[in-house]
């Protein structure tokens, strides 16, 4: 598996040398950030671990180059954050590296320093705040408020709706949770977001089951 991972990473890397590179530092940073974010999306779509890992590792490299080319680019920092985050959860949602978590959060915070209205970063920050324990910087109340802000401002925000739906379910607001997840799945399908469709379906199914259980309990 290691040989396959290295081979794919080499293939991804070699193809980059033939792409035209912008002349200005800002243009180069934008170009590299786009490639890094594309690698992150491709990794999310990949089925096997080796391919996912290779995409995210290549995305991290391109994201680091994007930041080096234009440190003041919020999109460059977000592209790097995307790949760092996916590398952390390539084997699931369990935390395996405090250093990795801190580096990822530093990149996300830098995005919001540069662009406080960056919708994707606000969505990611809200999601992390509701997921992380307080000892690691989590703040459920603040995270929920950020997710609500994103949902209200961004009609197409899929991830924020899914994250907020889970919060609503935890608070016992099951119908709201199902509605948010239903909207998220519809948006993912409507806007052709295959990286979110499987997750949206799984979350919706779980929330519907939880809502049914909650209803059954109130009837006894």
For 82-135, what is each residue's pLDDT tens digit?
999 999 988 776 666 788 899 999 999 999 999 999 999 999 999 999 999 998
- pTM for the whole thing? 0.81
Spans of all domains in the chain: 26-116
The pLDDT value recorded for residue 218 is 67
CA separation for the pair 176, 6 (Å, rounded) = 45
Using alpha carbons, list the distances in angstroms from residue 217 to 129, 176, 213: 30, 18, 6
For 161-205, what is each residue's pLDDT tens digit?
999 999 999 999 999 999 999 999 999 999 998 889 999 999 999
């Amino acid at each position: 598996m290691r040989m396959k991972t290295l081979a794919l990473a080499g293939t991804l890397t070699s193809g980059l040398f033939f792409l035209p590179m912008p002349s200005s530092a800002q243009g180069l940073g934008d170009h590299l950030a786009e490639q890094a974010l594309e690698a992150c999306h491709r990794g999310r779509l990949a089925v096997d671990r080796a391919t996912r890992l290779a995409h995210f590792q290549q995305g991290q490299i391109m994201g680091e180059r994007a930041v080096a080319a234009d440190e003041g680019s919020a999109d460059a920092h977000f592209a790097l954050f995307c790949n760092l985050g996916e590398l952390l959860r390539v084997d699931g949602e369990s935390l395996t590296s405090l250093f990795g978590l801190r580096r990822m959060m530093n990149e996300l915070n830098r995005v919001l320093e540069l662009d406080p209205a960056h919708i994707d970063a606000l969505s990611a920050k809200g999601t992390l705040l509701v997921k992380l324990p307080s000892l690691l910087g989590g703040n459920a109340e603040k995270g929920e408020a950020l997710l609500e802000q994103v949902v209200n401002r961004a009609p197409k925000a899929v991830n924020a709706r899914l994250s907020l739906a889970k919060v609503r379910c935890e608070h016992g607001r099951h119908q709201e949770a199902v509605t948010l997840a239903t909207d998220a799945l519809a948006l993912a399908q409507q806007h052709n977001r295959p990286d979110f469709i499987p997750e949206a379906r799984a979350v919706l199914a779980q929330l519907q089951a939880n809502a049914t259980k909650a209803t059954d309990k109130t009837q006894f």
